[in-house]
Structure 1
Amino acid sequence: MDVKKQEKAVQMIADIRKHQQNSTERVSDLTSQVKDLKHALRLMQENSLVSETTVLSGGESKLNRYVSKSGSIQWKTEQKNLQTPEGVVKVDQYGILDDPNPSCSWQKELQKIASDRSLVRMFMLDPHTPQLDTKLFHHLKKAPKNIVPSIQKVFNDTSGNGAEWIPDEFQPDLYKTFQVERTLASNLAKVQVNRNTVLVPRMDRGGRPYKKGMLTSDDQKYTTSTVSTAQASLSITGMACRYLIDDAAAEDSGIALLPTLQRQIAMDLQDAFEDCMINGDTAGTHQDTISAWNIRSRWGASGLGGTSDHRRCFLGLRAASYDKSTTDDHGAALTYDDFLANVYKMAELGVQDVMCVVSPEVLIKYLLPMDEIATLDKVGPQATVLTGQVAQIAGIPIIVSRFIGNDMQNTGLFTGGGGGLSGMILFNKSSWNIYERKGILLESDKNIGQGAIELVATYRGIMASADAAATKNVSYGFNL
């Protein structure tokens, strides 16, 4: 973590709060303050990106698990037969290139080189990467002693410099970029699922104890109680990004493009997922006029609102609040008591594990001037700080998201622009999870009609709650 960058971001937010509390012209320069807040948030995001680390497990001796009985290396995940007391079952076993928990620094670097090489080759018409092939060759020559015979066997059995046998498939590095904790989604628990429809059992009500009486007869029994159970059915959907790259790309330009492309794909999917977390709706008619909603100019003016719009992937927090009748019209004003009234809408689920998501405008105009708010410079080093948290109020962490718009009407909905209003969301984060079917998959194909290489990145996952439909686990305050 870059301490100086973090301190600069915290100080910028503290300065904005000081201005809001002491200036007589708090709102007159709101645009400039929003710009400064976005800069501070960007510094915090970049800082969390830099702090990403991969945990190494087991050491070099664990590399033997990728060596087969014949002495060959298992490069990618394969299905194996596992003998259990109940019989033989098929399990997926990671290979040396796609294991998310590399054993040592040599394997971690091997995964990065192979991933970079695979991605560069994806957007080349005639894949030819001598620079990366040479880099890979030299790295393999530095393999730990316990797998040197297996590595040498590959070179002895393969013509060329040994790069030919590295699978030209996308490896997990890009997905790790997507997983970096710098978004709203990173604050929710992630549940891995293995099918498109998931049934999540829940206990709506436990048993009821009764008073234990005196024994008065031989057949006397305790009073019975009934446990109330149910299940939530979740359908896993996905998102896709499609890119067209000039087929004249060479290795040098591919290597130069690589970091930008990796980051952009991850950012596109992150932004779309967070937008749906807040503004998604699965109703036949979306609650907002998304055909005209280019929120903060992020998505462009054309192609919005169709059946494939990303805001139709799953139910978002705003729409869920309307469904549960837990919205709160603040009437263009927000005091500390108003904030608590919004929390009150969640009943007992508003007592703990609550998280508040606000727009930059609401944070600056309404929350920072409150005496009750504590920015990170006041929270203290011993406090637990969530990813992206900028402050807290009443013990509730505050996260800023650009996808709470500043162009909504006084109904809390977007109906075509011109409203100029915003809002805030409170939700119990223990009630909402990310259900993930598959990480980022990147595929390429040649488009001879356009003289381009097509890249398609897909991600399959949703945010959902397994609570009963009427459970008040979210609240939306609007007209701010």
Structure 2
Amino acid sequence: MERDTIRAPVLTAAKALDLEGRIGGYLVVWGDATKRDLHGEFFTPDTELGLEWYPRRPVLYQHGLDGEMGPVMIGQIESLRADDTGVWVQAQLDLRSRWARAVMDLVQREVLGWSSGSLPHLVAVGTDGHIRRWPIVEGSLTPSPAEPRYTDAVAVKAAFEALGLPTEDLLERDAGEADENMDIVTGTTGRGDAIKRLPVAQEAVRPHAPAIEVRSKYADLDAVDMAFMHTWLSRSGQWTPSVNFMRELAHKAYRAVDSGQLDAGTLRALPVKSDELMHTGSEGFGQEWVPDVWSSELWRKARAENVVLPLFRIVEMPSNPFELPISGTDPTVYYVPETQDEDDLTLGSTNPIPDSQIGSGKVTLRAKKLALRVGFSAELAEDATLPLIPLYREQALRAMADAIDHVLLNGDTTTAATGNINSDDAAPSATSRVLAFDGLRKLPLVTNAANGQSAGGVPSVALLRSTRFLMDPRYALRPKDCAWIVDGSTYAKLLSISEVATVDKFGPYATVLTGEIAKLDGVPILVSPEMPLTQDDGKANTTGNTKGQAVCVYRPGWVVGYRRRIAATMDYLPYYDAYQMVATVRLAFAPLDSEVASVLYNITV
């Protein structure tokens, strides 16, 4: 959260106090109802600025939002002083940093102004635009202030020299040898020329004053928790998010984007001040992107933490159904002699290079919808809102993400009384999630049964290798593009095979966070809790499943299409005095051909 200062008609810009990187200027300039910034707000001497909180504060460039420099501290504010114009600061840039030297050059060219930064949950702005509380946390130098008046930055030593003032006095006062209360008074000459004053800054606090940490009741919630809380409670009409809540949510959301925890596109609708980050200064700002924060996190978490979904390419479906173009047969490469005759230059039948064609194909993606609905009482929300937010959010996210993995692995559109790989002895329920589309297991078990074989006992290296090579050799011979997916019981059996390298053996190449816990012949082995135990034929019945299985997939041979990312809504049902949470996703899944998976089933576990 930042505030661009209003440039005063006196020397309010960032000014270099000496050649060693000392700068000064007005960080805050007083205004009133007739002197507002471009956002209709203003500081007054009554604004709580927290000048006594810290002995020193960081100097940043563009509040740390510059795409190249980032949040680098380029110096420190050494003193702050409030006077009739505003708050004058003196700061020391760290000229050991190349960034600070570049910024100092801009200061000397008089193209920068000061802008103060605060934290969202500490700020209070009245309905009349009066900024009542703005504890200064940092001071920034910016070329694009929201208030264009009186914020130019100039070098203070150069200003002293231009005004004919002795710089020796400045250096002496910096060393603490001169009167701290001495000012150079502002006035005008008979010719109307302004005589600038350069206030001598006083230390804002004692050198060893303790820092103060202020925590709000939302401090333990992250941006996604707060967005979920907003989505949940604001729908009821019984809770309206406060200005402080929205400010803290905006602050945390931007930090999450900056750290890579949220997609930057999530905040595309958030208002900004000039070219700088803007705080949500009044109710209603940022309301439109709150659901995006929550839904974006659902999708990101599903892709980052699931075992099956991250294996495959994901495309956005502009229509439903969507025909995805894929490559077909390759052109033919020939041996040809050296070109010697003029006839060889023609495109006719005499050309020494025979022609061939590049084949093409397509795969059709048809999006299907998965959904969950959860209800809970208003009393539960009233009595335990804050503790429930992370719990409910995580449960909803995990349930939907697990459902996606389950369908990708076990999907089977068979609705007959027998034959479905998940319910071979009874027809699946009409709302069973596995009916969305055909998944990984069905291809080698049913669609191309030649790509499956029975273990008839415990797994072995020979069985696993031969199963992998049931796929077309052009796929099986690319171990880095393949992956094994097994159930937990089968993995326990694989641990007894010496050729299976577990994470303790392949060290930095382990990716345990995405489920990879072992390798065989360079092919990662992933354990999915969504992989079921089955009957001897690799299909599961409603009861009595005791056999394990291992599916080998060629990852580039499958594609996930989504028509709607995971979206969550929360509604209040007044006639039940209860809440209802609904999460949905529309996605498709398809192989590029029938050779991109194989399976070893009937494993004794």
Scaled by the length of structure 1, what TM-score is found?
0.65
* Residue-by-residue CA offset, 1:36-56 (whole Å, 9 max, x unaligned): xxxxxxxxxxxxxxxxxxxxx
Determine which structure has the larger helix proportion and give its number: 1
Judging changes above 3 Å, is the alpha-carbon distance between structure 1 residues 58 and 399 closer, same or farther for their aligned structure 2 residues?
farther
1:361 aligns with 2:489: yes
Answer with 1 or 2: which has the greater Rg. 2
1:269 aligns with 2:381: no
The farther-off stretch of 440-449 and 203-212 is 440-449
* Residue-by-residue CA offset, 1:365-412 (whole Å, 9 max, x unaligned): 2x1001111111111325677721111111111110122212x21111
The farther-off stretch of 413-422 and 320-329 is 413-422
Which residue, 403, 413, 429 being the options, matches 2:530?
A: 403
What is the one-letter code of the residue matched to 1:379?
Answer: F
Which residue, 392, 397, 400 being the options, matches 2:519?
A: 392
Judging changes above 3 Å, is the alpha-carbon distance between structure 1 residues 246 and 293 closer, same or farther for their aligned structure 2 residues?
farther
The equivalent residue for 2:457 is 332
User: Is the 8 Å Cα contact of residues 226 and 249 (structure 2) preserved in structure 1?
Assistant: no
User: Is the 8 Å Cα contact of residues 444 and 455 (structure 1) preserved in structure 2?
Assistant: yes
**Matches for 1:453-472 after TM superposition, within 5 Å:** 453-465=579-591, 467-468=592-593, 470=594, 472=595
CA displacement at 1:251 relative to structure 2 = 5.4
Which residue, 216, 223, 242 being the options, matches 2:373?
A: 242
Judging changes above 3 Å, is the alpha-carbon distance between structure 1 residues 277 and 118 closer, same or farther for their aligned structure 2 residues?
same
Cα distance in 1 for partners of 2:278, 2:421 equals 61
Which residue, 272, 291, 313 being the options, matches 2:436?
A: 313
The equivalent residue for 2:233 is 121
Judging changes above 3 Å, is the alpha-carbon distance between structure 1 residues 211 and 110 closer, same or farther for their aligned structure 2 residues?
same
Cα distance in 2 for partners of 1:315, 1:291 equals 14
The farther-off stretch of 136-145 and 305-314 is 136-145
1:196 aligns with 2:320: yes
Secondary structure of the corresponding residue to residue 319 of structure 2: coil
Judging changes above 3 Å, is the alpha-carbon distance between structure 1 residues 141 and 276 closer, same or farther for their aligned structure 2 residues?
closer
The equivalent residue for 2:547 is 421
Which residue, 242, 258, 283 being the options, matches 1:163?
A: 283
Secondary structure of the corresponding residue to residue 230 of structure 1: strand
* Residue-by-residue CA offset, 1:219-246 (whole Å, 9 max, x unaligned): 6234222222111111111211111121
Cα distance in 2 for partners of 1:195, 1:462 equals 12
Deviating 4+ runs (over 4 angstroms):
109-114, 137-146, 148-155, 213-217, 249-252, 289-294, 382-386
Cα distance in 1 for partners of 2:407, 2:597 equals 15
The equivalent residue for 2:558 is 432
Cα distance in 1 for partners of 2:280, 2:517 equals 52
User: Is the 8 Å Cα contact of residues 228 and 393 (structure 2) preserved in structure 1?
Assistant: no
User: Is the 8 Å Cα contact of residues 532 and 548 (structure 2) preserved in structure 1?
Assistant: yes
User: Is the 8 Å Cα contact of residues 313 and 559 (structure 2) preserved in structure 1?
Assistant: yes
The equivalent residue for 1:376 is 503
CA displacement at 1:315 relative to structure 2 = 1.4
User: Is the 8 Å Cα contact of residues 510 and 516 (structure 2) preserved in structure 1?
Assistant: no
Secondary structure of the corresponding residue to residue 171 of structure 1: helix
CA displacement at 1:140 relative to structure 2 = 7.1
What is the one-letter code of the residue matched to 1:454?
Answer: Q
Cα distance in 1 for partners of 2:341, 2:274 equals 79
The farther-off stretch of 136-145 and 177-186 is 136-145
User: Is the 8 Å Cα contact of residues 128 and 251 (structure 1) preserved in structure 2?
Assistant: no
**Matches for 1:21-420 after TM superposition, within 5 Å:** 60=65, 112=224, 115-122=227-234, 125-129=236-240, 133-137=243-247, 147=273, 162-167=282-287, 170-180=291-301, 181-184=304-307, 185-213=309-337, 218=343, 220-221=350-351, 222-250=353-381, 253-285=384-416, 287-288=419-420, 290=422, 305-322=428-445, 323-325=447-449, 326-348=451-473, 349-352=475-478, 353-365=481-493, 367-381=494-508, 387-406=514-533, 408-420=534-546
* Residue-by-residue CA offset, 1:170-220 (whole Å, 9 max, x unaligned): 232353244232212123332223322221112221111333246668462
Structure 1: 5+ residue stretches without partners: 1-56, 63-108, 156-161, 295-303
Cα distance in 2 for partners of 1:346, 1:191 equals 25
The equivalent residue for 2:578 is 452
Secondary structure of the corresponding residue to residue 315 of structure 2: strand
Scaled by the length of structure 2, what TM-score is found?
0.53
Cα distance in 1 for partners of 2:279, 2:365 equals 48
Secondary structure of the corresponding residue to residue 163 of structure 1: coil
The equivalent residue for 1:473 is 596
CA displacement at 1:112 relative to structure 2 = 4.7
* Residue-by-residue CA offset, 1:250-297 (whole Å, 9 max, x unaligned): 556332221111111111111111111111112443743756999xxx
Secondary structure of the corresponding residue to residue 412 of structure 2: coil
Cα distance in 1 for partners of 2:428, 2:558 equals 25
Secondary structure of the corresponding residue to residue 115 of structure 1: helix
The equivalent residue for 1:34 is none
Cα distance in 1 for partners of 2:587, 2:425 equals 23
Taking every aligned residue pair, what percent have the same amino acid on both sides?
20
Structure 2: 5+ residue stretches without partners: 1-61, 68-220, 256-270
Judging changes above 3 Å, is the alpha-carbon distance between structure 1 residues 136 and 245 closer, same or farther for their aligned structure 2 residues?
same
Cα distance in 1 for partners of 2:511, 2:228 equals 36
Q: Which has the higher contact order (CA 8 A, sep 6+)?
A: 1
CA displacement at 1:163 relative to structure 2 = 2.2
* Residue-by-residue CA offset, 1:327-384 (whole Å, 9 max, x unaligned): 111112321111111111113211221100111111112x100111111111132567
User: Is the 8 Å Cα contact of residues 295 and 568 (structure 2) preserved in structure 1?
Assistant: no
Cα distance in 2 for partners of 1:210, 1:278 equals 42
User: Is the 8 Å Cα contact of residues 289 and 305 (structure 1) preserved in structure 2?
Assistant: no
